[in-house]
Amino acid sequence: MQPETEWTVGSLLDWTAQYFVKKGCDSPRLDAEVLLAHSLKLKRIDLYARYNEDIQEDAKAKFRDLVRRRAEGCPVAYLVASKEFYSLPFFVNQDVLIPRPDTECLVDVALRIAKKENWKTILDLGTGSGCIAIALAKSLPLVKIVAVDISPKALVVASKNAIANKVADRVCFVEGDLFTPLEKGLAFDAIVSNPPYIPDSDIKDLDKDVKDYEPRLALSGGGDGFSVFDQILLGAGSRLNAGGHLFIEIGSPQEEPSRARFQAYPQFQLHPTILDGGRNPRVLHATKIVPTP
């Protein structure tokens, strides 16, 4: 590194982006900018107005530590304890999966139908950071959401996010395994879920940033990746109102086997698979058929 006194916002960004390239980061410049903005308590966009300014020693020390941890593989979202999802801010720590842009297509489609059909209630299974439930609640001011997670630590994060996004009065967080904590007879207009779906044999091939840092509980879908999916499918029918909607996120290679699983559930009508921003199959969508009188 150059002598301490020579670092400006611009030169430090350039140096760090180069360093992250060497360390194999996917988005080196962006990571450098987000970490430097965080260290300087600025918005990323404001870095450019200060391009030639020197950096205070305390911010530099903080930045150096973040750069080291990023180079070791820690995801930026954990380093800055936040991630944007559906244009809303979410607090994250290692107790929850980092919200992915891939999941936004689930929220998009669910919102469109919710508004048209005037949903009153939604169940979110495996809420994690709460990102799906909170994004839905934010755009649907009359809807009440029950959000379940088996991890009490994840629920601490999700509750914090509901408060920060001002929807805590309409999202009720419940600890437990999928449907088990729900009162008998309780049914919803929709069920949404991004369950863990990575097959155990694929976990070792995940990026180091994911494998070594994100909670295994939120990733591992058991031997074939479908252990949670299958439990959701088994229980969803009796927890949906007639005509109610089910949305489940899947891994892209799972489209065919996941759709095939619906054949055992004739009470569901399966709709076309929802594609994510990268045009990959991402969310299965089905409705509970309204019984004919």
What residues make contact with ligand GLN under the rule CB under 6 A?
97, 100, 102, 194-198, 210, 219, 249
Q: Which is nearer to ligand GLN, 220 or 287 (CB)?
A: 220
- HSE-CB at 132 with a 13 A cutoff on CA atoms is 34
How far apart are CB 171 and ligand GLN at their closest, in Å? 20
Q: Which is nearer to ligand GLN, 28 or 221 (CB)?
A: 221
Q: In sequence order, what are the beta bridge partners of 173?
A: 147
Q: Which is nearer to ligand GLN, 54 or 224 (CB)?
A: 224
Q: Which is nearer to ligand GLN, 31 or 189 (CB)?
A: 31
How far apart are CB 201 and ligand GLN at their closest, in Å? 14
Q: Which is nearer to ligand GLN, 28 or 196 (CB)?
A: 196
How far apart are CB 57 and ligand GLN at their closest, in Å? 37
How far apart are CB 249 and ligand GLN at their closest, in Å? 6
How far apart are CB 128 and ligand GLN at their closest, in Å? 8
Structure tokens at 123: 């169940």
Give the end-to-end CA distance of the chain in Å, rounded to a whole number: 76
How far apart are CB 127 and ligand GLN at their closest, in Å? 12
- The owner of tokens 């290679």 is 253
Q: Which is nearer to ligand GLN, 10 or 222 (CB)?
A: 222
Q: Which is nearer to ligand GLN, 35 or 250 (CB)?
A: 250
How far apart are CB 178 and ligand GLN at their closest, in Å? 14
Exposure b/e, 3-15, CB count within 10 A at least 16 = b: eeeebebeebbee
How far apart are CB 106 and ligand GLN at their closest, in Å? 11
Q: Which is nearer to ligand GLN, 219 or 236 (CB)?
A: 219
DSSP collapsed to 3 states, the chain: CCCHHHCEHHHHHHHHHHHHHHCCCCCHHHHHHHHHHHHHCCCHHHHHHHCCCECCHHHHHHHHHHHHHHHHCCCHHHHHCEEEECCEEEECCCCCCCCCHHHHHHHHHHHHHHHHHCCCEEEEECCCCCHHHHHHHHHCCCCEEEEEECCHHHHHHHHHHHHHCCCCCCEEEEECCCCCCCCCCCCEEEEEECCCCECHHHHCCCCHHHHCCCCHHHCECCCCCCHHHHHHHHHHHHHEEEEEEEEEECCHHHHHHHHHHHHHCCCEEECCCEECCCCCEEEEEEEECCCCC
